Amino acid sequence: MTNLSVNINKVATIRNARGGNVPDVEKVAIDCEDFGADGITVHPRPDERHIKYADVFKLRPSLRKEFNIEGYPSEKFMQLVLLVKPSQVTLVPDAPDALTSSAGWNVADNFEFLSQITEQLKEKGIRTSIFVDTNIENIKLAAKVGADRVELYTEPYASAYVANREVAIAPYIEAATAAHKVGLGVNAGHDLNLENLQFFCQRMPYLDEVSIGHALISDALYLGLKETIKQYKNCLK
């Protein structure tokens, strides 16, 4: 069964809108685990507009399951993750002012940089995932820089799903198969939701994990967090 990692950035966004500690990000993360999530994802950005660096330090000893930290590997970010030592670090190519992740790495253009970063993470025993699109050569290069997994950027799938879901999923099946052949695990994330997730999971080979935040937290406003996580987990069976 594919694991579900819940991205709690949006919970921190709501908290930060008013200051204080409501909602309590740490409690929400623990509740997500209790309600069936297999892990927690956070993406601390340089401006700390949602998850703050202090949140990451606070969450680490509280979490019992997988902890995944996403981010661009700046010097400050690397200092954070090497101290915290999460289960997994997902490297994304976001600019500091990016609203959200909107593209994967061009691994060829960043080969030496990513090789150095993955080496640092491996020395600390941290699993490394590189955020990529479905380009096969890009995925092969991700293996060569020393990554353990790739996270496939799924916004193109989500955008094309309604018009033709078979066409939408085809490049992702090829990408996952190629990743598996070169020894990489496969994660996926971005714009996956209750409408398109079950089909994605049913058709995708070798899918280890999906990371979902915006849609899941939005659904929880209507369904409640416990029921929402249950429904997402059902999609992954």
Residues designated catalytic:
43, 70, 190
- Dist. CA 87–CA 206, nearest whole Å: 19
CA-based angle 225:229:230, to the nearest 5?
115
**Amino acid at the residue 181:** K
Q: What six digits make up the tokens of 202?
A: 């049913």
Locus of tokens 């695990």: 185
Q: Is-contact 1 237, C-beta < 8 A?
A: yes
Q: Are 168 and 157 within 8 A, CB to CB?
A: yes
∠ Cα 107 153 230 (to 5°): 145
- Residue 172: strand, helix, or coil: helix
CB within 8 A of 55, min separation 6: which ones? 12, 25, 26, 42, 44
